[in-house]
Amino acid sequence: MTDQIAIHTQGLTKHYGDVKALVDLDLDIIKGEVFGFLGPNGAGKTTMIRTILDEIRPTAGSASILGMDTHRQSVEIRDHIGYVPGDLAMYPNLTGRDTLTFFANLRGGVDWEFVDELAERLGADLDKKVGDLSSGNRQKVGLIQAFMNRPDLLVMDEPSSGLDPLVQREFQKMMREVASEGRTVFLSSHTLSEVQRVADRVGIIRQGHLIAVEGVADLRSKAIRTVNLFFDEPVEQGVFVGLPGVRDVAVENHHVTLSFDGQMETLLRVAAERYSLLDISTHEADLEEIFLTYYEEGGA
Ligand code: ATP
């Protein structure tokens, strides 16, 4: 089983003085999956990534990548990973092509045919100086340097920032292709819709704590529909609060919004018994809503 694990962390902890940036993280990322690491700003995503890449030392715990200890074998590990940091430093006077040559020389050779293919897919201009590029276009150069060696593991820290939606789609396809080849993608993000489209599993981190790890499909199936009910008179919140499967009831005059994962028949019966129901709409909760639910349940 351990040879199926791309990233393993055990009790991984990082404190900055009083700030507990990462607390006792136990996580296994399986080879061949796209794993979305979701959390708001300051949740500890970058700290986790920098710790497993041996850029910073953990306060406690340990990690391995592809079976190698992230500290003792950090040099070997570098040969197997592509990394897109949150703030990739580049020399502004070098063109994209020169930048990629520079990165490639650190590891031995560029497959220009493949690089040009990646550049074309992302719409990257490799002949301009990177200092003259917009941040989104510079980011494309960063993505290419991570993909171009066909690494076994891609680690990316909010890589989609600044990319326009069409490029994001292409980038998502590229991540899926990596996974379909049995390689692994670890993607930190706060863009829930992206993770929903691209990831197999999602870990949700909050204030340094991993609060849930779920398959994207399971997350959806838990759902949780959002139901809107419209009545011909003002209604009382108390009628809906506490009904089986109902939560997050919000009442605004004639209109009730609630989250629901129970029997629709029961809900409609209760609603229609008390009031005259004019209209109803429901939609499946997206990851954003599910995510908020986790956060609320997770407490402060
Ligand atoms: P973002 O999306 O904003 O990058 P993040 O989830 O990556 O957020 P981290 O950057 O890992 O979060 O930060 C986690 C916590 O650790 C935050 O409270 C942050 O202020 C703190 N922190 C991070 N780096 C340092 C540092 N070098 N010194 C002190 N505190 C730090």
From the options 3.40.190.10, 3.40.50.720, 2.40.110.10, 3.40.50.300, give the CATH code of 2-220.
Answer: 3.40.50.300
Residue 225: pLDDT band with limits 50, 70, 90: confident
**Atom 20 of ligand 1 has which residue's CA nearest to it?**
42
Judge whether residue 75 has pLDDT over 80. yes
Mutate to test the pocket of ligand 1, among 20, 25, 41, 46 (most ligand atoms within 8 A of CB): 46
With residues binned 3-state (H G I as helix, E B as strand, rest as coil), the percentages for the chain, rounded to 5, are 35, 30, 30
What value does the mean pLDDT of the chain take?
90
- Integer Cα distance of 261 and 227 in angstroms: 10
CA distances from 249 to 239, 254, 257, 267 (A): 10, 13, 6, 12
Between the CA of 283 and the centroid of ligand 1 the distance, in Å, is: 35
**Gap from CA of 240 to ligand 1 centroid (Å):** 40
Q: How many CB atoms lie within 10 A of CB 32?
A: 16
Nearest-atom index, ligand 1, CA of 158: 2
With b meaning 16 or more CB within 10 Å and e meaning fewer, what string describes 168-201? beebbebbbebbeeebbbbbbbbbbebbbbbbbb
How far is it, in rounded angstroms, from Cα 229 to Cα 237?
12
pLDDT digits (tens, 9 = 90+) for 262-300: 788 888 998 889 899 999 998 876 666 666 666 665 543
pLDDT at position 20 over 60: yes
The CATH superfamily holding the domain 224-284 is Protein-tyrosine phosphatase receptor IA-2 ectodomain (3.30.70.2470)
At residue 300, the pLDDT reads 37
Strands 246-252 vs 255-260: parallel, antiparallel or unpaired: antiparallel
Predicted pLDDT of residue 1: 60
- Measuring from each residue's beta carbon to the nearest atom of ligand 1, which residues come in under 6 Å? 16, 19, 21, 39, 41-47, 86
Q: What is the pLDDT of residues 126-184, one digit of tens each?
A: 999 999 999 999 999 999 999 999 999 999 999 998 899 999 999 999 999 999 999 99
Domain ranges of the chain: 2-220, 224-284
Instruction: For residue 17, give the ligand 1 atom closest to its CA.
Output: 29
What does the pLDDT read at residue 299?
44
Name the percent of the chain lying above pLDDT 90. 67
pLDDT reading at 68 higher than 80: yes
Which atom of ligand 1 is nearest the CA belonging to 44?
A: 11
Report the predicted TM-score, pTM, of the whole model to 2 decimal places: 0.81
Name residue 83's amino acid. Answer: Y
